[in-house]
Amino acid sequence: MTNRITIAASAVQVGDHVYNGPSGSNHPTFAWETVTHVEVVDGLIEVITGSLDTPHGEFWFEPDEAVVVIRHPPAQTEKPAAKPHGKHGHGK
C-alpha cells in the first residue's frame, strides 16, 4: 500500500517521492520523483531527486514547512518456514 502524506520537510527521507511540478524549466516533468538525497544546508532542508552527477530536481524547504510526499511502507521480509524438530512424538 502506498501512502500520500503531509509531513514537515525535516522528516523527508531518501526513497520518498515528491512532485516536481511546473517550473521555469523548458521541460518540466509534472511527475512524482524519487528523493535520492536529503541534507541540511544553512538551516534549510535540501531535497534532491535523481543523480547528483546529472541534471536533477532540487528543492529547498524550511525545516517545519509542510511537504506532501508519497511513501511506500518498508518491505516486509518473509519469515522462514518453521523447521521440524526431528521428534516423532514417541513417548517413554
Q: How far is CA 51 from the centre of its chain?
A: 15
* Residue closest to 45 by CA, chosen among 69, 75, 71: 69
In which residue are the cell numbers 506532501 written?
68
- List of domains in the chain: 3-71 (2.30.30.30)
**pLDDT higher than 80, residue 68:** yes
Mean pLDDT of the chain: 80
Average pLDDT over residues 75-85: 68
Show the CA angle centred on residue 25, arms to residues 66 and 31, nearest 5°.
50
Chain centre distance of CA 47: 11
Cα–Cα distance for residue pair 13/47, rounded to 1 Å = 9
The single residue listed with the C-alpha cell 512532485 is 19
